[in-house]
C-alpha cells in the first residue's frame, strides 16, 4: 500500500508530466520541499529524461541523478537541490563558521570554485568528473550533525558514513566510493598548513588515505590538493564570500587557474613522497 506521502509524490509527478510550462517559484503554492521535487523533475521533463523508476524509500532514481550530473552545462545548484530534496533538514543548517554560512551556501561556493578552475581538465587517476562533483556536493554533509553533537571533529566520520551510504544506494562504483570516503574522512593538507602536523605525519596520513582509496599516492595527493583548494578557497572574496583565507591562494581568473600562494606552496613542497 502506498503511503500518504507516496501518493502526494506520485500526484506531483503526474502534474509535472501534464504541465506544459513552468513559470517559476512565485506561482508555487506548496511547501519548499515539494517545490524542490517539482523543480528538479521540471528540469528532467525538459530534457526528456524522466525516469519511470520510483523507489519506495528514495524519491529519485540513479537515472535522475545522472541526468543532473551529466548535464551540459552542469549547474551545481541543480545537484544541491537534488540532495536537499533527499536531506531536507541538512543543507539549510549552519556549518559553524564565523562567516555564518549554511551548508548550502558553503557547498555552492566550493562547487563553483571547482567549476571555474578545474572542470575543464581531466582529473588525476582517471576519476570521472560526475562523481567528483557529487563528492563535492556532499563533502560536508555530516558537519551539521557533528555541530549538533558538540564536537565538530566528528564531521569526518559522519561525512564518510553519509557518502558511503548514498553512493551505494545510487549505484556508484567502488573506485569512486572509496575515493570519496577517503577524501571526506579527514583534512591532512589543512592540518599540515596550520602546522598541527609534521611533514612526516602528513605524508603517512596521505599514504594511508591513498591505500583506502586504492590508488597511487601521487594521484590521491593531487586530488587531495584540488579538494583542499576549492574547499578552503571558497572562504574568499573570489568565491563570492567574505575575506578570510584569501592570502593562502592565487586566483587567475583570466587563465582559469587556482594555485597555492607562494608561502603555502613552499610548505606543501615539503611533502615529498619519494623520500618516505
Domain map (residue ranges) of the chain: 1-18+28-48+58-81, 89-276
79 burial level (CB within 10 Å; 0-12, 13-18, 19+): buried
Query: What are phi and psi for residue 70, nearest 5 degrees?
Result: -95, 5
The residue among 248 and 10 whose pLDDT is bigger is 248
What are the Cα distances from residue 164, in Å, to 107, 139, 182? 18, 11, 10
pLDDT, position 59: 55
Return the number of other C-beta atoms located less than 10 Å from residue 71's C-beta: 16
The residue among 208 and 62 whose pLDDT is bigger is 208
pLDDT, position 64: 86
Tell me the pLDDT tens digit for each residue of 36-71: 555 555 444 444 443 343 334 445 677 889 999 999
Q: What is the mean pLDDT of the chain?
A: 85
Cβ(136)–Cβ(128) under 8 Å?
no
User: Mean per-residue pLDDT for 74-95?
Assistant: 94
User: Is the pLDDT assigned to residue 17 strictly greater than 60?
Assistant: no
d(CA 248, CA 240): 16
d(CA 85, CA 33): 6
Angle (CA) 94 100 105, round 5°:
65
What are the Cα distances from residue 163, in Å, to 157, 184, 221? 10, 8, 20
pLDDT, position 40: 53
Cβ(258)–Cβ(113) under 8 Å?
yes
Q: How confident is the model at residue 194 (pLDDT cuts 50, 70, 90)?
A: very high
Tell me the pLDDT tens digit for each residue of 130-150: 999 999 999 999 999 999 999
Amino acid at each position: 500500500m502506498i503511503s500518504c506521502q507516496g501518493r502526494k509524490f506520485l500526484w506531483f509527478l503526474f502534474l509535472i508530466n501534464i504541465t506544459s510550462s513552468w513559470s517559476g517559484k512565485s506561482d508555487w503554492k506548496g511547501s519548499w520541499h515539494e517545490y524542490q521535487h517539482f523543480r528538479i523533475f521540471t528540469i528532467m521533463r525538459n530534457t526528456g529524461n524522466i525516469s519511470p523508476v520510483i523507489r519506495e524509500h528514495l524519491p529519485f532514481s540513479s537515472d535522475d541523478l545522472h541526468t543532473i550530473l551529466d548535464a551540459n552545462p552542469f549547474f551545481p545548484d541543480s545537484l544541491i537541490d537534488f540532495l536537499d530534496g533527499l536531506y531536507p533538514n541538512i543543507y539549510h543548517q549552519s556549518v559553524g563558521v564565523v562567516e555564518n554560512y549554511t551548508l548550502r551556501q558553503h557547498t555552492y561556493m566550493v562547487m563553483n570554485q571547482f567549476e571555474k578552475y578545474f572542470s575543464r581538465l581531466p582529473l588525476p587517476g582517471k576519476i570521472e568528473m560526475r562523481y567528483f562533483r557529487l563528492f563535492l556536493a556532499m563533502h560536508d554533509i555530516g558537519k551539521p550533525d557533528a555541530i549538533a553533537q558538540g564536537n565538530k571533529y566528528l564531521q569526518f566520520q559522519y561525512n564518510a558514513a553519509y557518502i558511503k551510504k548514498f553512493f551505494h544506494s545510487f549505484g556508484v562504483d567502488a573506485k569512486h566510493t572509496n575515493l570519496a570516503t577517503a577524501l571526506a574522512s579527514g583534512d591532512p593538507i589543512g592540518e599540515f598548513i596550520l602546522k598541527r602536523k609534521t611533514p612526516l605525519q602528513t605524508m603517512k596520513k596521505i599514504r594511508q588515505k591513498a591505500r583506502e582509496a586504492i590508488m597511487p599516492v601521487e594521484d590521491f595527493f593531487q586530488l587531495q590538493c584540488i579538494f583542499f583548494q576549492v574547499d578552503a578557497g571558497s572562504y574568499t572574496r573570489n568565491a563570492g564570500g567574505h575575506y578570510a583565507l584569501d592570502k593562502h591562494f592565487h586566483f587567475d581568473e583570466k587563465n582559469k587557474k587556482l594555485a597555492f600562494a607562494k608561502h603555502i606552496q613552499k610548505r606543501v613542497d615539503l611533502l615529498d613522497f619519494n623520500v618516505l
